[in-house]
Chain A
Amino acid sequence: DGGITQSPKYLFRKEGQNVTLSCEQNLNHDAMYWYRQDPGQGLRLIYYSQIVNDFQKGDIAEGYSVSREKKESFPLTVTSAQKNPTAFYLCASKQRNYGYTFGSGTRLTVV
């Protein structure tokens, strides 16, 4: 079945540590997105990519970095510069204007 796989489901980060969240899709979608969701709130866009080797900042890109070396993969790195990284992170992909397909998310907690 086609879909988006996010891993890990739960991730713990120590202060000052960089961590990378994985997002893989086998839908052959061109565009991919990373959103952050804080408790009881909506989703905010971190980064997006429309094609391989190209990506753009979203509304809250500070403290995050991404890469898009393959169409199927769009990993997100949460750097030590992100002062409040505890949140739920959702990856999505899209083909044309139908809407997004979402992964099941990664919950990141700072310990």
Chain B
Amino acid sequence: AQTVTQSQPEMSVQEAETVTLSCTYDTSESNYYLFWYKQPPSRQMILVIRQEAYKQQNATENRFSVNFQKAAKSFSLKISDSQLGDTAMYFCAFMRLNNAGNMLTFGGGTRLMVKP
């Protein structure tokens, strides 16, 4: 079974600064996807960024980028130029390929507070 660990329950950052959220996972699979989801106070889950394990290049989406270290099974999220609207819970998630159900396994989340 896959496990996803987010070791930082809470973090804070000043507006306009950069913050990195950590995520590690455990799997014996070689083909999989990794995701970061954002859950603001509205509780809506929003996809932030996606990484295919077979790609060496780190994914980027505007101010959001990842540092994917496959050998270390690490998948951190960097948020640059933090904005007040980035305040939310952030969840790292793992999806195994060639899995009949393609279920997502989630980490426990990191609560990020962006301070003005």
- CB of A23 within 8 A of chain B? no
Does B102 contact A31, Cβ atoms closer than 8 Å?
yes
* A side interface size, CB within 8 A: 24
Q: Contacts A41-B108, A43-B91; is A102 near B103 (CB within 8 Å)? A: no
Interface residues on B, range: 20 to 34
B85 in contact (CB, < 8 A): no
User: How many A-B contacts are there with CB distance less than 8 Å?
Assistant: 55
A97 beta carbon closer than 8 Å to chain B: yes
Measured between alpha carbons, how far is A88 from B39 in the docked complex, in Å? 13
- Interface assignment of A16: CB less than 8 Å from any CB of chain B: no
Against A, the Cβ 8 Å flags (1 = close, 0 = not) of B33-47 are: 101000000111111
- Closest Cβ of chain A to B88, distance in Å, is 13
Contact pick for B102, options A43, A90, A94, CB 8 Å = A94
| Interface-central residue, A43, A56, A94, by most chain B CB under 10 Å | A43
B interface residues, Cβ below 8 angstroms from A: 4, 9, 33, 35, 42-47, 50, 91, 95, 97, 100-104, 106-109, 111
Q: Top 9 A-B pairs ranked by shortest CB distance?
A: A102-B45, A42-B106, A43-B106, A42-B108, A105-B43, A99-B47, A48-B101, A104-B44, A42-B109
